[in-house]
Amino acid sequence: MHIAIISDVHSNLDALESVLRDIKRRGLNRILFLGDAVGYGPDPNNCVSLLKRECEVLLAGNHDRAVTGMTEIEYFNEFARAAILWTVETLTEENKRFLAALPASKVFQTKTGDIFLVHSTPKEPELWHYLLTLRDAEINFNYFNQRICLIGHSHVPFVIERDLSGDMTVYKDRTVLKDGLRYIINVGSVGQPRDGDPRACYAIMDINSITFVRVDYNIKSTQKKMAAAGLPEPLIKRLEYGT
């Protein structure tokens, strides 16, 4: 089992293409996508088409729901909201229908056990809470039965390991997945990283480890397209800082 897991592409085609090249170069051909194909960036239609073609499983994120009118947009900050409104104008009807039909969570079957996939939290997949603290993790471990849960949404990669006594440990790097222990793993963001590293982020999982991979992409090209589309300046700037 060697699976690539990507999330939070956010219409960033340059980042997505670079990540897919990296995945193929490693000979991996199974890709799971944890949601937020669109929002923020300049290439929503190309990103949806490419994800649709390349990914074995696709989930919806809050931005995907917002552009299809399935979640309120008042909850987004002004810049995110402006990008959502631009995306609504830009997306084809076919791509909107495709996004609208995606599930918010899914159980993914593997030969070595099922994995729970969700964009935000196992507890309330469609309320779009962030799972950020150990307290959040402690609660959410009760809302999936599988050994491993993979998430996105906060754009910050991490591994939270829970041992048999309930004690939790956080890892930020490659982690060996120990027999019998349970895990919540955030795979980071392809199109808008927020952990201070501007490179695109994704994860590779094999039978007993998870590895985060960082990939350089043409940030300047994405920024140029965003400016040409009239997308908000702070969204353009943050890409070069990874914040």
Asked whether 164 and 181 are in contact (CB, 8 A), the reply is yes
Of residues 36 and 43, the one with the C-beta less far from Zn ion = 36
Q: Which residues pair with 175 in a beta bridge?
A: 210
CA 48 to chain centre: 14
Q: How far is the CB of 113 from Zn ion (least distance, A)?
A: 27
Which region, judged by CB under 5 A, interacts with Zn ion, from 7-15, 93-101, 198-206, 230-238? 7-15
Q: Are strands 105-108 and 115-118 parallel, antiparallel or unpaired?
A: antiparallel
CB count in 10 Å sphere of residue 230: 9
# residues contacting Zn ion (CB under 5 A) = 2
Of residues 8 and 14, the one with the C-beta less far from Zn ion = 8
Interface with Zn ion, residue 36, by CB under 5 A: yes
Of residues 175 and 186, the one with the C-beta less far from Zn ion = 186
Of residues 36 and 161, the one with the C-beta less far from Zn ion = 36
| Alpha-carbon distances of 131 from 9, 55, 158, 185, 186, rounded to whole Å | 19, 24, 11, 10, 9
**CA angle 15-194-128, nearest 5°?**
100
Of residues 106 and 162, the one with the C-beta less far from Zn ion = 106
The residue from 3, 5, 6, 8 that contacts Zn ion (CB under 5 A) is: 8
Please give the residues from 120 up to 159 whose contact with Zn ion meets the rule CB under 5 A.
none
In angstroms, the first-to-last Cα distance of the chain is 32
Structure tokens at 28: 């991996």
Helix (H, G, I), strand (E, B) or coil at 212: strand
Q: Which residues pair with 4 in a beta bridge?
A: 31, 204
Which region, judged by CB under 5 A, interacts with Zn ion, from 31-39, 77-85, 89-97, 126-134? 31-39
Compute the distance between CA of residue 51 and CA of residue 35 in angstroms, rounded to an integer: 10
Q: How far is the CB of 153 from Zn ion (least distance, A)?
A: 6
Q: How far is the CB of 191 from Zn ion (least distance, A)?
A: 8
Q: How far is the CB of 2 from Zn ion (least distance, A)?
A: 25
Of residues 103 and 168, the one with the C-beta less far from Zn ion = 103
Which region, judged by CB under 5 A, interacts with Zn ion, from 5-13, 134-142, 218-226, 235-243? 5-13
Task: Name which of 59, 60, 102, 66 is nearest 85 in CA terms.
Answer: 66
Interface with Zn ion, residue 14, by CB under 5 A: no
Interface contacts to Zn ion, rule CB under 5 A: 8, 36
